[in-house]
Amino acid sequence: MRADVAVAGNGVLGLSLAVELKRRAPGLRVVLVGPASRPGGATAAAGAMLNCFAEVTDTTHRHPASRAKFAMARTALDAWPDWLAALGDGAGKGPSLASPGTFVVLGAQATATAVRNFDAVQEALKEHAEPHQEVQAADIPGLRPVPHERPLRALYLEREGAVDARAVLQSLETCGRRLGVTVTDGSTTHLLTAGGRCTGMRLDDGTEIAAGAVVVAAGTASGPLLDQLLPGRTPPMLHGTGCAVRTLRHTRPGFDRVIRTPTRSGACGMHLVPLGGGVEYLGATNVVSFAPPPGPRLGVTQFLLRFATDQFDTRLGMSAVQGWHYAGRPVPLDRFPLLGPTGIDGLYAATGTYRDGFHSSPVIARHLADTILDPGPLPELLAPFAPVRDPIETMTVEESIDLFVSDEVETAAEYGMRLPYFLDTEPIAARARSQAHEALERLDRPIALPPEILAAAHAAPPTHLRHLNTYLRTSPPTAGSVPSP
Ligand SMILES: Cc1cc2nc3c(=O)[nH]c(=O)nc-3n(C[C@H](O)[C@H](O)[C@H](O)COP(=O)(O)OP(=O)(O)OC[C@H]3O[C@@H](n4cnc5c(N)ncnc54)[C@H](O)[C@@H]3O)c2cc1C
């Protein structure tokens, strides 16, 4: 088989790119490869909140890469209405928003991080003159938390809603086929090379696709694929295991808008997405690990359900479970996406979008298509996310340890820790601090890692640790050393 562009991966990134390429260059031969059932694919499990400002944290504006990611999310916010309309049947009828508008609520028991992030959301809304309203908890239709979780503050973001990820995937695939994308059910096992450039891919059934450009967009499987040609050169890819549940309302009224908490450092915040007809999506857990886990962890899943009923609506307890969504978010070591040319001629990456890649997908597709169709200078928006790079460090190693420690203490409190008045949280902080140092001692050089990645490094199996250290050895050391405990 021959193609101009062959894409490995049939999630939202691979499909959006294939659609964008065919729209811009109808004569281009585009082949998209991925297993039809999408096992473990993040997109099919996503709550698909189209959130930009609701995702802001107190660190969003502190580092150029975080600012670039925010800029991408802002552009995506403007892009979604036209993108959805264009996915339609040619008469402008595309999949619609499952829910327009998002309430961000700050419960009475919110942690210090959640409070800071809520403030940061509000500041960003004002700074960018984004339409929003401060609302009272009593004004949020459907809200009935337990009394001690009642929101003290709430914002309504009218332009940020959600779509049904499964419906959008289906529309993207239908639209791609209509435009002439060749959709192939299978998996890419090998990237092919000749004369130092990537020339195509081999599939699990032995089929070879010769291609002028190959795009790796295989979610968590992208790491091993890129490693075939760039061993230890791209930030290692971790699994951000997420679990969510889809329920059917028994006790009305239920919600007609997305309701969510602010982002926490290791999680996207608790959220509920109304999907219509009384169906609600409750998400999502996030446990990050180097090796794919055998399944979602029972402990966090239990709390997902408790947080939803306690913080949003006790009547959810009467809802019927329709199904579970479970997948691995593709999480690069530094939590920033891998987008664009890889330095090997003909090989591109479109992956590593972690918690918010669904929202940014139309913009990522547009800019990647620019680069593939006209390989000139990299679009400004993609420049910070070059797939072959040193890890992006947004803080010092000492700050990353402090953040890990405060995060562990806050998580313990969120999960119900209650101490007598004569004890404080120091024993928990000390345990976390020593875990952080143990994790850093496993690394060949000190590096500032986000809290959930530091936890994953602490638990990383030896083969993954070796791979991580190979990557760290190829990127130059930063000043400083592991601080003593
Ligand atoms: C529970 C959960 C909730 C989320 N909520 C949101 C949200 O509200 N908003 C938001 O913006 N984002 C959200 N995300 C994140 C978002 O889903 C991801 O950032 C995004 O979907 C990643 O898309 P992708 O195409 O890169 O990867 P994936 O969707 O994982 O797609 C990769 C595809 O490649 C296929 N594949 C695997 N191996 C191969 C191979 N060897 N060859 C070919 N194909 C292969 C897989 O089957 C899969 O279909 C959430 C994620 C999860 C798990």
Q: What phi and psi values does residue 252 have, to the nearest 5 degrees? A: -75, 165
- From atom 37 of ligand 1, which residue's Cα is the shortest distance away? 218
Q: What's the gap in Å between 172 CA and the centre of ligand 1?
A: 14
Q: What's the gap in Å between 109 CA and the centre of ligand 1?
A: 32
Check if the beta carbon of residue 313 is closer than 8 Å to that of residue 255. Answer: yes
> E strands of 46-119, at which residues?
102-107
| DSSP annotation string for 13-63 | HHHHHHHHHHHH-TTS-EEEEE-TT-TT-HHHH---B--SGGG--TTTTTS
Of the candidates 433, 8, 4, 320, which has an alpha carbon nearest to the alpha carbon of residue 187? 8
Q: What domains are there in the chain, each with its CATH number? A: 2-46+165-237+335-385 (3.50.50.60), 100-162+238-332 (3.30.9.10), 397-474 (no CATH)
Angstrom CA distances, 138 to 142, 154, 313, 385, stand at 9, 10, 13, 42
How many CA atoms does the CB half-sphere of 286 hold within 13 Å?
27
CB neighbourhood size of 439 (10 A): 21
Q: What's the gap in Å between 317 CA and the centre of ligand 1?
A: 29
Angstrom CA distances, 318 to 107, 315, 484, stand at 22, 6, 51
* Amino acid identity for residue 126 in this structure: K
Q: What's the gap in Å between 358 CA and the centre of ligand 1?
A: 8
Q: Which atom of ligand 1 is nearest to the CA of 189?
A: 41
Alpha-carbon gap, residue 355 to 352, rounded angstroms? 9
Q: Which atom of ligand 1 is nearest to the CA of 271?
A: 8
Alpha-carbon gap, residue 440 to 458, rounded angstroms? 8
Q: What's the gap in Å between 357 CA and the centre of ligand 1?
A: 8
Q: What's the gap in Å between 43 CA and the centre of ligand 1?
A: 4
Q: What's the gap in Å between 33 CA and the centre of ligand 1?
A: 14
Q: What's the gap in Å between 117 CA and the centre of ligand 1?
A: 25
Q: Which atom of ligand 1 is nearest to the CA of 203?
A: 42
Q: How do the pLDDT tens digits run along the chain, 485 residues long?
A: 999 999 999 999 999 999 999 999 999 999 999 999 999 999 999 999 999 999 999 999 999 999 999 999 999 999 999 999 999 866 556 788 888 999 999 999 999 999 999 999 999 999 999 999 999 999 999 999 999 999 999 999 999 999 999 999 999 999 999 999 999 999 999 999 999 999 999 999 999 999 999 999 999 999 999 999 999 999 999 999 999 999 999 999 999 999 999 997 667 789 999 999 999 999 999 999 999 999 999 999 999 999 999 999 999 999 999 999 999 999 999 999 999 999 999 999 999 999 999 999 999 999 999 999 998 888 888 999 999 999 999 999 999 999 999 999 999 998 889 899 999 999 999 999 999 999 999 999 999 999 999 999 999 999 999 999 999 998 755 443 333 44
CB neighbourhood size of 81 (10 A): 14
Share in percent of the chain as helix, strand, coil (round to 5): 40, 25, 40
Alpha-carbon gap, residue 362 to 75, rounded angstroms? 9
Beta strand pairing status for 102-107 and 188-194? unpaired
Q: What phi and psi values does residue 12 have, to the nearest 5 degrees? A: -65, -35
**CA–centroid distance for 417 within its chain:** 28
Q: Which atom of ligand 1 is nearest to the CA of 8?
A: 43
- From atom 25 of ligand 1, which residue's Cα is the shortest distance away? 11
| DSSP annotation string for 427-454 | HHHHHHHHHHHHHHHTSSS-----HHHH
Given the structure tokens 């991966």, which residue do they identify?
9
Given the structure tokens 């959640």, which residue do they identify?
114
Task: Among 280, 353, 452, say which to mutate for ligand 1: greatest number of ligand atoms within 8 Å of CB.
Answer: 353
Residues β-bridged to residue 326: 243
Q: Which atom of ligand 1 is nearest to the CA of 243?
A: 1
Q: Which atom of ligand 1 is nearest to the CA of 284?
A: 1
| DSSP annotation string for 360-371 | HHHHHHHHHHHH
Check if the beta carbon of residue 36 is closer than 8 Å to that of residue 403. Answer: no
Q: What phi and psi values does residue 122 have, to the nearest 5 degrees? A: -65, -40
Identify the residues whose C-beta falls under 6 Å from ligand 1. 8-14, 33-35, 38-39, 41-43, 45-49, 187-188, 217-219, 221, 242, 244, 283-284, 325, 327, 329-330, 351, 353-359
Q: What's the gap in Å between 265 CA and the centre of ligand 1?
A: 20
